[in-house]
Amino acid sequence: MKTHYYLGWFNNFFPEKLGKVLQKDISNRKSLVMISSNPSFYEEVSATERSWFDYANILFDEYHLINYLVQKEDAQLLIQNASVIFLLGGNTVKQNEFLIEYELSDAIKKSRAVVMGASAGAINMSAKWLCSKNFGYNVEESSVYDGIGLDDFSVLSHFDLENNMTMVQNELSALSEEINIYASNKDCAVRVKGDKIDIFGNVYLISNSIMQKLEETL
């Protein structure tokens, strides 16, 4: 059964309730493979997101970071052998371009690993996402990008919804007529396990231009 986590952001660690759910879902802890969102910047493998796992006592035998220091063929092999694949937060566009250049999307789709993403990583896991200057992107005109497409919906992750509710609804109205959109800020998660979608924290569904808060189920 495939398991996907679309995360917002956590300032320090996974909340205890979410950490317990993750401990159950992540039974295979051989290899954590993280995919950079700024692959030209050679950050250490001990990324912020790795510390979330450490705090939740979810420890792995091996830790790997995929960026331009890793050869394309080696990156695909790491994906194939991963227990957990984690798309890091940061620059959504650069990560999207890197996924295409390294041909990682199909490998991620075929993997039996638990696939997770935070902020930019969660956005790129989704089927489509809107690149707009109103969402902080350095662009003049809005455009829709294709993500990996692990599930047939769009994600807006780690965005200040509370102070921008009307703008978000208006901005995503057209896309929401085509595909459901899950929008969240910090300390949130959307978990897809098999055919079931679970909600943690304050998550909103935008569908057919209507925005509604979802009940928490995790």
For residue range 70-116, list pLDDT tens digits in order.
999 999 999 999 999 999 999 999 999 999 999 999 999 999 999 99
| pTM, 2 dp | 0.96
Over residues 41-65, the mean pLDDT reads 86
CB burial readout 30-42, b (16+ within 10 A) else e: ebbbbbbbbbeee
Domain spanning 3-213, CATH architecture: 3-Layer(aba) Sandwich (3.40)
Q: Could you tell me the residue ranges of all domains in the chain?
A: 3-213
According to the model, what pLDDT value does residue 44 have?
58
According to the model, what pLDDT value does residue 11 have?
85
Residue of 46, 60, 45, 52 whose CA lies nearest to 8: 52
According to the model, what pLDDT value does residue 43 have?
62
Cβ atoms 153, 184 nearer than 8 A = no
